[in-house]
Homo-oligomer: A and B are copies of this chain.
């Protein structure tokens, strides 16, 4: 498996906090951390199969995620190039780039907004959990 690209940021960590943003289209997930990473990888790798490999994802799964994204927005986010077979290329459409940028901006905004409310919580948080003494008992 190829190394994960360094730009990947599936769930942004802010101190001890993970924030996950998912955008729904009806009952399907139009975009979330995994799909955003896939869009980014497609832009970098130039094909859906290479992008999937870079993220440790099967070809079938990356195609299904792209299919969902392409059905949830006003226009498709990913365009496949002419030609046949798995080796052919793919790229983001203008809307694909716009949606990816918008999602990263949303993540940045969430990270910024969490800083202050997290402080008070983090002050009471242990760096690691105490040992469980009797998890099923009444203690």
Interface residues of A (CB under 8 A from B): 16-26, 28, 30-31, 60, 63-64, 67-68, 71-75, 80, 84, 88, 95, 98-99, 102-103, 105-106, 109-110, 112-114, 116-118, 120-121, 124-132, 135-136, 138-139
A98 near B124: Cβ-Cβ < 8 Å = yes
Copies in the complex: 2
The residues of B that contact A74 with a CB separation of less than 8 Å are: 124-126
The residues of B that contact A112 with a CB separation of less than 8 Å are: 113
B106 near A23: Cβ-Cβ < 8 Å = no
Among candidates B67, B99, B132, residue contacting A135 with C-beta atoms closer than 8 Å? B67
* A21 → B minimal CB distance (Å): 5
Main SS class of interface, A: mixed
16 A-B pairs besides A20-B22, A63-B136 with CB distance below 8 A are: A18-B23, A19-B19, A19-B110, A21-B114, A25-B127, A63-B135, A64-B136, A68-B129, A71-B130, A74-B125, A98-B124, A99-B121, A103-B121, A109-B116, A110-B114, A112-B113
A113, B120: Cα distance in complex, Å = 19
The residues of B that contact A110 with a CB separation of less than 8 Å are: 19, 110, 113-114
A23 near B28: Cβ-Cβ < 8 Å = no
A26, B138: Cα distance in complex, Å = 24
